[in-house]
Structure 1
């Protein structure tokens, strides 16, 4: 599943011009590997500017990237409540849900992202990934219930093939 990076134009617009410099500085710190400092600075900014969707989104991204998934989920969850028109927080919330194995929750979040922006390619790709995992789960359960099925093993193998990384070719 793909996370959306925080420098998206719509979130910069939501952040406001006055705070764009602070967002850019936090992004710069994060990009050069100073994520701890970037996160502290971003959280301090959000404490004084709680409506800054762009900075809040960046906080969620940094939390997710530092394996603080439950905190990142809380940030994205609150963003979708406060800004339901923005698809990016739904997408990132879906990525966290999928990583935790909650494919039904991930699908629901991606459906919301696509309602907010039907042409968001990342959300469509992520929805495809989630649907593959849901198919895998459904076929595996069906095979448990009907081990003599003639069709299920082939379907299960086909879905598993989709999950394999592409073979590397050498020149």
Structure 2
């Protein structure tokens, strides 16, 4: 397995199409021809961040050889990219495909802050998240509070948690690529 990681961050000049196509094209240099890809998986929540509801077809814009390849969009809130990887692994393990192209992309800055808050608030199971102040984000807040109590830490530690992976360096995190022999 070879992972290609598009630089994470705010890409104000790029729309969802661009992010998906750029990520799919970045994988081109890793030894497999596009015509050999048996299936495409896209991890993407969307939920209203963009108007592209059926975004898995956008991957085919990266290369004409990807057109008419089966493409599946996988949505699992914050874990959409991971869920797409698992779905592709399941297809490989079943023998249905030999080469899978998996892309994870999200464009959360195309809508105003209040709309982003509403979309993220609707990400949980409505019957459950309605019990928490602030909906789905409230569930994460409660998980964080439970974590602080269990491990004797505080919210002051959270910024360091987000920075530590960046300090490990590209050989650990894979700034652009990681995998066997890379």
TM-score computed with the length of structure 1 as normaliser: 0.28
Higher helix proportion: 1
The structure having more radius of gyration, on CA atoms, is 1
